[in-house]
Amino acid sequence: MLSATEAYNTLLAAYGTPRWWSEDPFVVLVQSVLVQNTTWSTVEKTWAALGGRLTPEAVERLSGQELERLIAPCGFQKAKARTIRELAGWFRGYGCDPRRLEEVPLPQLRGELLALRGIGPETADVILVYAFYRPSFVIDAYTRRLLDRLGYGFPDDDAIRRFFEDGLPRDARVYGQFHWLILDHCILRCRKVPRCGQCPFRDRCRYPAEAEKAALEGREKWN
């Protein structure tokens, strides 16, 4: 079974160093909400159309309806607008200064984010890693799919978190790059119906063997 470091190095060798989400923490805060239940390409198009108009100050000035209209292409705009306003208010409570968050213990900071409406564990960890460079590994559906196909059989997300955080340096950059590599890999190759031909894990993954066995059994059935 591959270790967390071996899996990370395999993806890094296959795809190269991925981009970072954004160096602007407020961009990460807003986009981490916008991307819920929609595609990343939709978020990028919506953000480009906004042209930098969404700042903490702008969110404070906008009415709920105005904010909903601006983010409408990403869907669920009423709920997302409410969450963005709560996040902006939370960030303003720290003076919109990431340095002030550096002294806050990670469990406390994560708890504050999870207490906001519309912020679940995945979004909280995205914000911690990409906005504030705190090591809290992001676990999403893509991560679960990849690990399941590689045969790890973790019982829950807590076990997945221990696997990554015990097996990697406590470095938010590594966590963020690993998460983005998994995202790229699962969009490109490890899809619901995977494209196994050029997969860097092909020799370690159980899916190709199972798929080939099923195909063979199907051929034998009809012969």
What pLDDT does residue 211 have?
59
| Pairwise CA distance, residues 132 & 101, whole Å | 8
Divide the 223 residues of the chain into consecutive groups of 10 and give the mean pLDDT of each group.
95 95 94 95 93 87 94 97 96 95 96 97 97 97 95 95 96 97 94 90 80 49 39
Is the CB of residue 78 less than 8 Å from the CB of residue 36? no
Place of tokens 């607008």: 81
What pLDDT does residue 74 have?
97
Contacts for 156 with CB less than 8 Å, ≥ 6 apart? none
| 52 φ/ψ sector (left φ>0, alpha ψ -120 to 50, else beta) | left
Is the CB of residue 71 less than 8 Å from the CB of residue 59? no
Classify residue 7 as exposed, middle or buried by CB count within 10 Å of its CB (0-12, 13-18, 19+): buried
Classify residue 203 as exposed, middle or buried by CB count within 10 Å of its CB (0-12, 13-18, 19+): exposed
Closest alpha carbon to 48 in 60, 66, 31, 65: 31
What pLDDT does residue 209 have?
60
What pLDDT does residue 220 have?
40
What pLDDT does residue 52 have?
81
Q: How far is the CA of 99 from the CAs of 54, 95, 132, 133, in angstroms? A: 21, 10, 9, 11
Closest alpha carbon to 142 in 79, 114, 184: 184
What pLDDT does residue 205 have?
87
What pLDDT does residue 210 have?
62
What pLDDT does residue 223 have?
37
> Could you please report the per-residue DSSP string of the chain?
---HHHHHHHHHHHH-SPPPS-SSHHHHHHHHHHTTTS-HHHHHHHHHHHTT---HHHHHHS-HHHHHHHHGGGS-HHHHHHHHHHHHHHHHTTTT-HHHHTTS-HHHHHHHHHTSTT--HHHHHHIIIIIT--------HHHHHHHHHTT---SSHHHHHHHHHHHS-S-HHHHHHHHHHHHHHHHHTS-SS---TT-TTTTT-HHHHHHHHHHHHHHHHH-
